[in-house]
Amino acid sequence: MTYDVVVNVSLKEAVLDPAGQQVARVLHNMGYAMEDVRIGKQIKLRFQAADLTEAKENARQMAEKLLANPVLETYEILVTEP
């Protein structure tokens, strides 16, 4: 079966986010009240798996091994059937 997977990756709260800080400053200068901005990334995948459990496990392994740096980042995985 084919599954669509979205992996949302973001820096852990304890990790500084210079890009997010810069965006917050610019938005503040534009007149928007910003308390915090965090920049992340989203990876979209489509692949075959035997079932939903296998698709989730494959996506978790991909995130752990390549898509996210578990030392600095957290990730969330969303799996759906197209």
pLDDT at 5 over 90: yes
For the stretch 18-64, pLDDT in tens is 999 999 999 999 999 989 999 999 999 999 999 999 999 999 999 99
Contact between residue 16 and residue 73 where contact means Cβ atoms under 8 Å apart:
no
Predicted pLDDT of residue 46: 98
Q: How confident is the model at residue 82 (pLDDT cuts 50, 70, 90)?
A: confident
Domain count, the chain: 1
Q: What is the mean pLDDT of residues 55-78?
A: 98
Predicted pLDDT of residue 75: 98
The CATH number of residue 26's host domain is 3.30.1280.10
Q: In terms of residue numbers, what domain contains 15?
A: 2-80
Q: What is the mean pLDDT of residues 15-19?
A: 97
